[in-house]
Structure 1
Amino acid sequence: MATSRRGGQAMSALFRAQTTASCSKCAQSSRVPSPFFRTAAAPSLQRRTYSAEASAAAPAATPSPSSLSPSSTSPGSPSKSSATTAPPTLVTRPPDYTIRAGLLLSRAPLITRDPTPFETSFYLYQKRLNERLTAPFQRKAFFKKDTTPALDWTLQMVERKGTIARDIGIYEGGKGGRGHGAAVAWDDEARIGDPEVETLTNPDQLRERIMSDADLRVSEDGEKLRESERVRVDRPQPRKTEADAKNDAQRLDRKLDRTLYLVVKNQDGTWGFPTADVGGDESLHETAERALEEAVGTNMNTWTVGRVPIAHFVRPVEPAEKKNITSVKTFFIKGRIMAGQANIEDNTLGVTAFKWLTKEELAAELPKYYYAGVKNAITAQ
């Protein structure tokens, strides 16, 4: 019994000794990493933001050289020193660009554009086709016999030579064909470039034919009035305004069928959109709105369409202009004018003039590099 107890104690002591030795070897080997599993510290990603802070010192994170070099401790060395990774060092560099923001302020078209030759010909063809396919006009259903409206309608039909519609030309079809015993063929097609098409679809002449129907041709006594005695209704304003006739680019009532953009003349004599440097705590759209107020005043009701730039360009800067600055990045925000007008009397940006221009006029007025950066954000109509 005593022999078995002493044998058990001996086995227990031998097991503890073996366990301690193996743990020491494991602990010693774990302190020395294998060169096959040693990795370099990945450089931290740096977010590049377009704000005023970017024009200040821009930090750039670079990995430490000590983290990329392998440890001097060889595998299996009894040394207990471990390979440690040093924290990344922030290296600051001076800014190499300036950020600016501007507003592309536009006035939307006020009237529809003039139709193209194809559109006018197609419109006239559809009108003529509709005239032939619709049911005949029944005068008795609309006018009482021997009344002023009935007499006025008779006079209108005489002026139109029997054609009901006022804008399709003279219709020679029908039973008898003007009393010649047979209907005369009517050409429905309206060819591009045909002088008759241009006459019938001319906006000014078409408007006059429509408005002339409202003129009173018969007096209250049922007598026909002479041309000079007819009671005429007020005509609408023409499509071409006084500003178009004088070519006044500062007025908003010019080019009514086109989109106009506000440009200002800077101190150096160049034309461009109202633009300013981005402030320390401003976003791009806030700077654009501030630039508009500082350039042309606050006598306008405007709407900033969005906060995302719709155009930009980068202009290299000569070293003599600004130290440590190699380029200027300009971003543009879209805006609309609802009412008011520009006023440069008390501007703080040194603006000397302003204009409201179309896309073609902008191409001729702006510098080439400037127009190339914004042309895709400017509508043609």
Structure 2
Amino acid sequence: MNAGQHTTRRLAARAGQSICRSCRESISRNNYATAAAVAVQSEDQVSHAIPPVAQASPSTAYAINAGVVLSRPPQITRDLHPFESAFFLYQKRLNERLALPFSRYFYFKKSTPADLEWKRKIKQRLTPARDIGRYKGYGEEAWNDEVLVGAKESDLQWQVERLLEDAATDGRATGEAEQKSAKNIERELFEKPMPRRTEADEKNDTKSLNRALQRTLYLLVKAKDGKWQFPEDRLNDENIHGAASRIITQCGGLNMNTWLVGHVPIGHHQYNYTKPTKLPSGLTEHGAKTFFLKARIMAGQANLKDNKLGLKDFKWLAKDELQKEVDESYWKSVKNMLAER
């Protein structure tokens, strides 16, 4: 006797009714068939619950465009996070503490020019490392040597200026008589590092590639309809890679040394026309789909003077700046293609 028969008998006993032999045999025979029928019925119900997929009409069409995400990669290292700056300053000061008992006679022979120059410089510096402030390792105030929040010693530009000042001096006191030598002239002509902020940063010149050197900049153009977007054009009996190469030349001119990174699109954007267009072939064009290829600029600059795409203006913008210029729907399509830095 199976579980179905036990269940039937228990239900009948509870209801005070008896089941005839023929009924019991029919229940026994139809036990598995009934379960299979229920399973089929549930599958049919699930299949009917799924809505049918809307298929596009054979007369519906979309234009295929090729777009170019032309970028200039970062030229310098990124700006340090405040925590990183504080940690590096802590490391420098810790190394200075470890170097305090410096045995100069191990490195410089006594009374040699190198030894005299070292003594002059340490007398002027008052510390082995001028760029991070003076460290008084001995005395009653030796314990009170932590850098306070907002102190000038923690500023990176202040540290650079102190290092340049130290490199330009030989340790002699101001006004001390000395005769110019080739060595002194060489000290005055040492190379100084370029600033991290350029003139284009100060003027916020968005057409310059010499701006935001620690960020990735993207070429954004103003199309005929006044919208800002990446350079794009319709395919003309060519593949997407060939179209992208053509678009770069027709958009920015020949004065750009560029490189198309690959042949596979990195993203796409679809938009519908406000009014469908009837094509000569009888199809109705409802919109366009733009597939973007990635490219890099190594040298040169964009020039829209003789462009053949009807572009009105251009800008080199970082990702957060680009978001403010393009439409919301366009931004949702392209944001994941762009680098944060």
TM-score (normalizing by structure 2) = 0.72
Please give the residue correspondences for 1:141-220 in structure 2 after superposition, counting only pairs within 5 Å: 141-146=106-111, 148-161=113-126, 163-173=127-137, 177-178=138-139, 180=140, 184-185=142-143, 194-196=149-151, 199-217=152-170
CA distance in 2, matches of 1:139, 1:322: 88
Structural mapping, 1:38-53, within 5 Å? none
1:224 to 1:172, Cα distance in 2 relative to 1, 3 A: farther
Tell me whether 1:239 sits opposite 2:199 in the alignment: no
Which position in structure 2 is the counterpart of 1:351? 311
Post-superposition Cα deviations, 1:268-320, rounded to whole Å, max 9, x if no partner, equal: 1111111011222x222221221111111121111111111112111111225
The answer to whether the Cα contact below 8 Å between 2:276 and 2:287 also exists between their aligned partners in 1 is no
CA separation of 1:317/1:142 partners in 2, compared to 1, >3 Å: closer, same or farther?
A: same
TM-fit CA distance, 1:146: 4.6
Q: CA deviation at 1:110?
A: 0.8
1:230-272 residue CA offsets vs partner (Å, 9 max, x unmatched): 9633422211111112211111111111110011111111111
Does residue 289 of structure 2 align to residue 289 of structure 1?
no
Q: In the superposition, relative to structure 1, how do residues 287 and 245 fare at CA in structure 2: closer, same or farther (>3 Å)?
A: same
Deviation for aligned residue 1:224: 6.2
Letter in 1 for 2:170: R
1:201-250 per-residue CA deviation (whole Å, 9 max, x = no partner) reads: 4232222222222213357xx9467xxx9963342221111111221111
Give the corresponding residue for 2:271.
315
Q: Are the equivalent residues in 1 in contact too, given 2:253–2:303 (CA < 8 A)?
A: yes
Asked if 1:137 corresponds to 2:97, the answer is no
CA distance, structure 2, for counterparts of residue 155 and residue 316 of structure 1: 76
Q: Work out whether residues 135 and 145 of structure 2, in 8 Å CA contact, stay in contact via their aligned partners in 1.
A: no
For 2:193, the aligned partner's letter is P
- Whether 1:121 and 2:90 are equivalent positions in the alignment is no
Q: How far apart are residue 111 of structure 1 and its match?
A: 0.9
Calculate percent identity across the aligned residue pairs: 45
Q: Give, in angstroms, the shift of residue 187 of structure 1.
A: 5.3
Structure 1 residue identity aligned to 2:337: A
Q: How does 1:17-166 map to 2 (within 5 A)?
A: 93-133=58-98, 136-146=101-111, 148-161=113-126, 163-166=127-130
Equivalent AA in structure 1 for residue 143 of structure 2? A
Q: Which residue matches 2:34?
A: none
Q: In the alignment, which residue of structure 1 is the partner of 2:213?
A: 256
Amino acid at match of 2:85: T
Aligned positions, number: 272
Structure 1 contact 310–333 (Cα < 8 Å) conserved: yes
Shift in alpha-carbon separation, 1:241–1:321, aligned structure 2, 3 A: farther
Q: Distance in 1 between matches of 2:197 and 2:304?
A: 27
Alignment-derived partner of residue 267 in structure 1: 224
Could you tell me how far apart the structure 1 residues matched to 2:103 and 2:258 are?
Answer: 53
Aligned amino acid, residue 135 of structure 2: Y
Quick one: distance in 2 between partners of 1:298 and 1:248?
A: 22
> Could you tell me whether the CA contact under 8 Å between 1:171 and 1:186 is conserved in 2?
no
Q: Determine helix, strand or coil for the equivalent of 2:268.
A: strand
Report the equivalent of 1:379. 339
Distance 2:110 2:163 in 1: 24
| Secondary structure of residue in 1 paired with 2:220 | strand
2:8 aligned partner: none
Shift of 1:147: 5.1
Q: Report SS of the residue matched to 1:93.
A: coil
Output the CA distance in 2 between the equivalents of 1:159 and 1:238: 27
Kept after mapping to 2: 8 A contact 1:106/1:335: yes
Question: C-alpha distance in 2, partners of 1:213/1:148?
Answer: 18
Give secondary structure in 1 for the equivalent of 2:168.
Answer: coil
Q: Is the 8 A contact 1:217 1:224 kept in 2?
A: no
RMSD: 2.7
Displacement of 1:96: 1.6
Distance in 1 of aligned mates of 2:128 and 2:100: 11
TM-score scaled by length of structure 1:
0.65
Which ranges in structure 1 are unaligned for 5 or more consecutive residues?
1-91
Instruction: Please name the residue that 1:5 is paired with.
Output: none
Q: Which has the higher helix share?
A: 2
